[in-house]
Amino acid sequence: MSEGWEAAGFRARVDEALRTFVLPESERLTAVDPALGPVAEEVAGAAASGKRLRAAFCYWGWRAAGQPDSDALVRAAAAMELVHAAAVVHDDLIDDSPLRHGRPTAHIALRDAVTHHPAPAEAARSLAMLVGDLLMSLAGQLFVTSGLPAAYLGRARPLWAALARDLVAGECLEILHTGAVPDTSASLKVVRYKTAKYTVEQPLLIGGALAGAGERLRTGYSAYGLPLGEAFQLRDDLLGLFGDPALTGKADADDVRGCRPTVLLAETWHLAGEEERGLLRELFGADDATHGGTAQGGTGDAACARRTGDQAAAGTRPDAVREVMRRLRAPERVEKLIAVRVDESLDALDALNLPRAALGALTSLAHSASVRHS
């Protein structure tokens, strides 16, 4: 690789590293029993697509610390993508999302493998959970067999534990806050732990640890990575409701239907008067048994609530929710939150006085993460 940043070429290297590692692992799985073929296909499929941003941040965490290009480092960085693949499978399972990258999610696709099962949907969900577990295991395996010296890998080992812990914490917080009174601070904490840390900050820190980066550089990585990771997820939340499903590859309005604690919903709730809040409760199908409120007849504080069978079947009305959000200018508020975080990230990057190639790459990656349509 040249000293410049050629994103497409880097993605091709990561794709090849994943293909050559995951394909034999999938074949070993089917060698146990041919019936495992559909599971192996989901493992391989989960690793076959993605923006490769996490691998790129790990790579430039290494390069910005003064280390040269390395195929072994690319393999270690590719392990970040298997962490992401595992997180995606589990997240889609938790959220019951039907589509990812324009194709059925694992727990939907695997139903065809268990049509004979007394409870095929539940069995497919169980298989998907195990696919995600295996992908996380494979991430660690690829990392430690990347070819980097053991001493280098040892420096990064504590960060792997932190990455997994923070990712699980974020997923748990999202579940715990779903249906509660919308709160921007709580939603931002979900964003930070569920996405921001493992998408930008921790890959950078892992790359830096592998390279032997000093404390000042590691502190700068966090100052750059955390706000940028938050901007990445805030953009994702906007795209999830206002983006083009043909570009995002995801089902439209999943977050609204699941009443997830996004910053977009929290900002909408913050801006809404009592009339708009009443409308939001109606649109989300809230009944008298609110999670976060105390009043009867749908007048509690929560925007979402436990639903009756009929309400669950009817679902929310995403178009009407979008209209309320537009009227209150909530998307513009989230855009401002994104802009503030990107500026903070780039200011931290400028303060590091990095080599020209690393500065250019990390600046480009900041724009790729925050200004996108998918």
The verdict on 288 and 351 lying in the same domain is yes
The verdict on 211 and 315 lying in the same domain is yes
The verdict on 289 and 159 lying in the same domain is yes
Q: Which of 104, 96, 110, 105 is nearest to 38 (CA)?
A: 110
The verdict on 71 and 107 lying in the same domain is yes
Is residue 369 helix, strand or coil?
helix
pLDDT at res. 41: 97
pLDDT at res. 361: 96
pLDDT at res. 1: 38
For 343, the domain range is 153-374
Structurally, how many domains does the chain consist of?
A: 2
pLDDT at res. 367: 94
pLDDT tens-digit profile, the chain (374 residues): 334 468 999 999 999 999 999 999 999 999 999 999 999 999 999 999 889 999 999 999 999 999 999 999 999 999 999 999 999 999 999 999 998 878 999 999 999 999 999 999 999 999 999 999 999 999 999 999 999 999 999 999 999 999 999 999 999 999 999 989 999 999 999 999 999 999 999 999 999 999 999 999 999 999 999 999 999 999 999 998 998 888 877 766 777 878 889 999 999 999 999 999 999 888 876 544 344 443 333 345 677 755 444 444 445 688 899 999 999 999 999 999 999 999 999 999 999 999 999 999 999 999 999 998 87
The verdict on 181 and 93 lying in the same domain is no
pLDDT at res. 327: 96
* Helix intervals (H) in 110-194: 120-144, 150-177, 184-191
The verdict on 216 and 310 lying in the same domain is yes
Q: Which of 206, 343, 178 is nearest to 266 (CA)?
A: 178
The verdict on 236 and 94 lying in the same domain is no
99 beta partners: 104
pLDDT at res. 2: 38
Contact residues for 49 (Cβ-Cβ < 8 A; gap 6+)? 101
The verdict on 158 and 98 lying in the same domain is no
Q: Strand 103-104 vs strand 99-100: parallel, antiparallel, or unpaired?
A: antiparallel
The verdict on 128 and 160 lying in the same domain is no
pLDDT at res. 165: 96
pLDDT at res. 251: 66
pLDDT at res. 355: 93
The verdict on 130 and 162 lying in the same domain is no
Q: Which of 148, 172, 195 marks a domain boundary?
A: 148
- Give the CATH number of the domain where residue 165 resides: 1.10.600.10
The verdict on 10 and 128 lying in the same domain is yes
Q: Which of 103, 123, 148 marks a domain boundary?
A: 148
Q: Which of 98, 129, 148 marks a domain boundary?
A: 148
The verdict on 263 and 345 lying in the same domain is yes
